[in-house]
Structure 1
Amino acid sequence: TDLENDPQILEINLSEFPILMLAVSGPLPETVLKKIGEKLEDEIEAIPGVLDVVLTGGRERQIRVEFDPDRLAAYQLTFAEIAAALNRENVNIPGGAIDIGSGKYLLRIPGEFTDPAEIDNLVLTLRNGKPVYFKDVAVVRDAFEDRTSYARLNGRQSVSLAIKKRTGENIIAVADRVFALVEAARSQVPEGVRLDVTLNQAKDIRRMVAELENTILSGLILVVGVLFLFLGLRNSFFVALAIPFSMLIAFAVLQALGITLNMVVLFSLILALGMLVDNAIVIVENIFRHRQEGAGRIEAAKRGTAEVAWPVVSSTLTTLCAFFPMTFWPGIMGEFMKYLPLTLIITLSASLFVALVINPTVCASFMTLSEQRRQRPQSRVIGSYRRLLAWSIDRPKRVLAGSFALLVAIIIAYGLLGHGVELFPDIEPNRAIVDIKAPEGASLEESNRLTRAVETIVGPEKDIRYR
């Protein structure tokens, strides 16, 4: 009861958010800009995949009738008589039907007003045997509704088109079709009119898809390069196969579940990419060790996989258990973020299947071991690690005490540096919104004056594209 306004409960549908915002601006009357916007609205709505186009900005056309009270009194007319006369004339009259050949056509007599000038010659009534026309008692003006807001882009009058896509449609494909139509329309609009895309969600999706592709290629190259030093070129490819196979299985499962590649899913795939080869490395390396010890390819694949299968499964399950509770994230944020744990669980489960089934099969069929690599002496790195491990096992108390002391030192150092904790790092935003709070009761013209002052201040900034 102490709230200034009543609370509002709204249902949020992500498909209702526009994927593109198109601004039509220029030094032309708002009637011209709005007609251009309406034409573009009709053409864009015809594009496959577009759900709706909402045109904003520009005042609605309004037919104003200004009566002369003295003339109404002189002709003894009331508003009820005028309204009845308008209703009688502004109608479409059905004319029945007509059969022509095999078709049947409905007829109608159009009687609705199409031009305000038609109202001037409308006969309202008879007085002393003479007709009284509408223009005798009123003036009809073709005008616009009273202005309640201003819409400008870079200082020029504008109207905007908000373009929404259908649920499940490819945002990039829909955006490309809209861009092709806008590019063709630029050569058809009057001189001085600009068509600018002020919001493009497809750009962010393209960037994330490019990052995913780059990460996959980089991961393949790095995995092959590192494992080449220890397992050889051919065997390193066996591990690298885990990336494309896991991604392929994950895409198939996501498609079957009806999950599209939105921004959260793409981020999740990039996050999971670094963990896809972990299981494969353990499996392939153990099979390689058995091959070095003289076992055949099939026998090495069986033994190597069986020895580390349960540790690999346990390791993957512990990771999945960390993300599984996030699937029950409540509220609006949960609707957004639930795709992150689902994608990670699906992708890591796919990598486990690849490591336990596909990698051993490939190794049993194609893994080779040259005589030089079979008799290769132990490397210095492995030898140093073996000595360090033996020293640590012989002195467990020292190792545990040193590890605890290192943990305390890290906590103290972190506190002294004073970097603090943040959930999300600060990033440079792509858009900035300036809220102007005018004095109570400020008129529209005063608000417009304040807005123009802000536009003048931010105008010289080189990094601002649209204002």
Structure 2
Amino acid sequence: MRLSETSVKRPVTVLMIVLIVVILGFVSFSRLPLDLMPEMELPYAVVSTSYSGAGPQEIENLVTKPIEQVLSTVQGLENIQSISSEGNSIVFLELDFGVDMDQAALDIREKIDMVKGYFPDGVGAPMVFKANMDMMPMMALSLSSDNLTLSELQKLAEDTVQPRLERTQGVASVSISGGIQDIIEIRTKSEKLAGYGLSLDYLANILRAENVSLPGGTVKKGSQELAVKTTGEFESLAEIKQMLIPLPTGGTIQLQDLADIELKADEQSTISKANGNPAISISLQKRSDSNTVQVSDAVHKELAKIEQELGEVTITPIYDNADYIKKALSSTAENGIVGAILAILILYIFLHNVRSTLIIATSIPISIIATFCLLYFFDITINMMTLGGLMLGLGRLVDDSVVVLENIYRFRQEGYSRFEAAVKGSSEVIVAVMAATLTTVAVFLPIVFVQGLTSTLFKQFALTIAFSLGASLVVSMTVVPMLSSKMLKVDRRQESTEETRKRGFFRTPTFVIKAQDKFDAAYQALLHKYRGLLKSALNHRRRVVVITTVILLVSLLSIGVVGAEFIPAADEGVITISVTLPDGSHVRSTEEIMDKIESNIADIPEIDTVFLDAGSGGMMSLGASQGNVGSFYVNLLPLNERKRGVAEVADEIRDRVVDIPGAKISVLSSQTMMSMGDPISIIIKGDDLDTLKEIGDDFVEIISGIPGT
């Protein structure tokens, strides 16, 4: 083809283009975001609403049903489900794939605004979440101290730690839980209120009106116009006590004469502990367009400064998604590098030519670097899927170049000059190489056009393979012929003496020559046996067809035995324990159960740190607090410092906590988005809750006897 001929005739142009691609590739690689999984916009939304003190029935009638009714008209709605529990309403919406979730979230908020004005007093503002990877905090921390109280820690976290972390580049939000808030409690004296003809609502309205700051207009001062603000917020406890209350009969009276007023710690709705010590829980969410690893590094730098400045405070990482991303990507990249090196060594063993091997070895990084350019311009991140696609494509990257080089080498052996061999050899096979590459691309590319979760998850995987193979095809058509015309040298071993094989810059060491001779002898013997086997197969075609058919059928039947799963489990070194007590249980009761669990697992040697959060469903609790639930985050020692995997440790934890009464306890050994949730769920529908509970208990009894549950 003319492209190969042009590349051979204009080597400087090809080198300049390669240099530009390499520079663009390195720049693109430095700017590509690093993440665990591709950014996925799943067609799911969640509406979470809190109503403290209300029971499940009240929540359902007063909050959940009105929200469900108004959201039933959301465009593209496929399914709607809800959970009404004590103090919380959670509504799950499933929409059609392909729906613009930003527009859907806006539509959901607008419809909720239509009904939230009818909610009873005390109902919190409904929060709308889009289901994506950014819902899960990228990092969780614990703040503890031997000298400060929880209320002091809470104030320190809110006034110092939270603002500084929120200013860190890439951080979207920082939330705090587990501390104690100081409140001012006003206990009115009912007999005095009755004597003065006052009511609680009257006092509450006055307090609300007095504790406010309002704009006061503007004042002109020369050429300037200054804004005026009236400050009326309470600044001290004494100010509240001395506040004057107008009386219906005339005159005023101080609030402290009508009520007992004191500053006290509020009752904890969530309790956090780090390794058994009281702590504050801090979770961070990153912006969707930011690099997880870079954000994590920036946060850790800021945390080191904060810890150094505060001195008496200890900040302990509970969970950092960047750690697993670094390990996973580093492992994948190392495997890819090892694979490339092995491919080059195997090529040298078969080609017996250092120059030929160098040509192929040069084509591999050029193809990979060009792939990074395409990933950047197509707004694709570096994640497990793209790296997996790149590693899968790596095994195919060298094929095109090897076929072209081998044909050029054959023409050189036939006596053609380097230039002629490069042009004729590449032109003769390039159509076949192109057909083979495009056929491989055609296998993966249709995934891009598939609808649903498969496309969302594997689209970048397929595109990365297509990009890498496309880059290798172009390299084999341009760079390989150009380098062959300059570097390729035929090694006529049958005409060479030992001195000839040792001559020149690319001389071959003696021990390598001897190893090559042994390999060639073994290869020729294997080739001889293969020829005999091939002749036998051609002479017994029916038998070959029957044997092949039997092997195919056995392979198909073995699929059911092998089993299947969506995403394989990985050893992330994190175990989560979920604890659920009966509805209505106080957070202190949950804490007692969790303390028992922690004491039962404390002596497991693989455990590094244990963090518990009572009164919260954990990282994915959607901001809702429930006194009857809690979660553990158990961090294990690094993999090279422990003898057992995370699954084995999780099994031992299950055995140790299974007999603890009064709570439902579940143990999970993975934290990735694909592994969260129950592998199998059974939904029982009906109108009578008591009947449903009986049927559910029967199901639990039956399923608990199945091995593996």
TM-score (norm 2): 0.59
* Letter aligned with residue 229 of structure 2: R
Instruction: Say whether residues 1:258 and 2:400 are aligned partners.
Output: no
- For structure 1, list consecutive stretches of 5 or more residues without a partner in the other structure: none
* Letter aligned with residue 366 of structure 1: M
Per the alignment, residue 562 of structure 2 pairs with 420
Note if contact 1:223-1:239 (Cα within 8 Å) is conserved in structure 2.
no
* Structural mapping, 1:178-193, within 5 Å: 178-191=299-312, 193=313
- Measured against aligned partners, the alpha-carbon deviations of 1:399-449 in whole angstroms (never above 9, x if no partner) come to 663575377469769989x97334455543522222334345433332222
Note if contact 2:189-2:258 (Cα within 8 Å) is conserved in structure 1.
yes
Note if contact 1:231-1:288 (Cα within 8 Å) is conserved in structure 2.
no
Cα gap change, 1:203 to 1:398, in 2 (>3 Å)? same
Cα gap change, 1:409 to 1:384, in 2 (>3 Å)? same
The worse-fitting range, judged by mean Cα deviation, of 345-354 and 376-385 is 376-385
The one of 356, 380, 391 equivalent to 2:532 is 391
Aligned length: 466
CA distance in 2 between counterparts of 1:446 and 1:76 reads 42
Note if contact 2:401-2:480 (Cα within 8 Å) is conserved in structure 1.
yes
Instruction: Say whether residues 1:343 and 2:464 are aligned partners.
Output: yes
The worse-fitting range, judged by mean Cα deviation, of 134-143 and 97-106 is 97-106
Per the alignment, residue 431 of structure 1 pairs with 574
Per the alignment, residue 330 of structure 2 pairs with 210
Cα gap change, 1:156 to 1:374, in 2 (>3 Å)? farther
Per the alignment, residue 296 of structure 1 pairs with 417
CA distance in 1 between counterparts of 2:222 and 2:396 reads 72
* Letter aligned with residue 449 of structure 1: E
Q: Give the superposed CA RMSD.
A: 3.4
The Cα shift of 1:211 comes to 2.8
* Letter aligned with residue 435 of structure 1: S
* Structural mapping, 1:102-251, within 5 Å: 103-125=224-246, 131-191=252-312, 193-229=313-349, 230-251=351-372
Instruction: Say whether residues 1:37 and 2:143 are aligned partners.
Output: no
Cα gap change, 1:393 to 1:271, in 2 (>3 Å)? closer
CA distance in 1 between counterparts of 2:328 and 2:216 reads 60
CA distance in 1 between counterparts of 2:437 and 2:274 reads 53
The one of 576, 581, 590 equivalent to 1:447 is 590
Note if contact 1:94-1:109 (Cα within 8 Å) is conserved in structure 2.
yes
Note if contact 2:434-2:473 (Cα within 8 Å) is conserved in structure 1.
yes
Percentage identity across paired residues of the two chains: 25
CA distance in 1 between counterparts of 2:134 and 2:212 reads 39
The worse-fitting range, judged by mean Cα deviation, of 271-280 and 144-153 is 144-153
Cα gap change, 1:71 to 1:442, in 2 (>3 Å)? same
The structure having more radius of gyration, on CA atoms, is 1
Cα gap change, 1:55 to 1:143, in 2 (>3 Å)? same
The worse-fitting range, judged by mean Cα deviation, of 137-146 and 41-50 is 137-146
Note if contact 1:55-1:162 (Cα within 8 Å) is conserved in structure 2.
yes
The worse-fitting range, judged by mean Cα deviation, of 10-19 and 47-56 is 10-19
Note if contact 2:363-2:480 (Cα within 8 Å) is conserved in structure 1.
yes
Cα gap change, 1:84 to 1:142, in 2 (>3 Å)? same
Per the alignment, residue 131 of structure 2 pairs with 12
The Cα shift of 1:180 comes to 0.7
Cα gap change, 1:148 to 1:96, in 2 (>3 Å)? closer
Cα gap change, 1:373 to 1:176, in 2 (>3 Å)? farther
* Letter aligned with residue 578 of structure 2: D
Instruction: Say whether residues 1:462 and 2:602 are aligned partners.
Output: no
3-state SS of 2:403 partner: helix
Note if contact 2:154-2:181 (Cα within 8 Å) is conserved in structure 1.
no
Cα gap change, 1:304 to 1:182, in 2 (>3 Å)? same
The Cα shift of 1:22 comes to 1.7
Instruction: Say whether residues 1:380 and 2:555 are aligned partners.
Output: no
The Cα shift of 1:70 comes to 0.8
Note if contact 2:418-2:486 (Cα within 8 Å) is conserved in structure 1.
yes
3-state SS of 1:436 partner: strand
Cα gap change, 1:79 to 1:209, in 2 (>3 Å)? closer
- Measured against aligned partners, the alpha-carbon deviations of 1:187-246 in whole angstroms (never above 9, x if no partner) come to 23352x321111212122222332344234324432332333324212201111222111
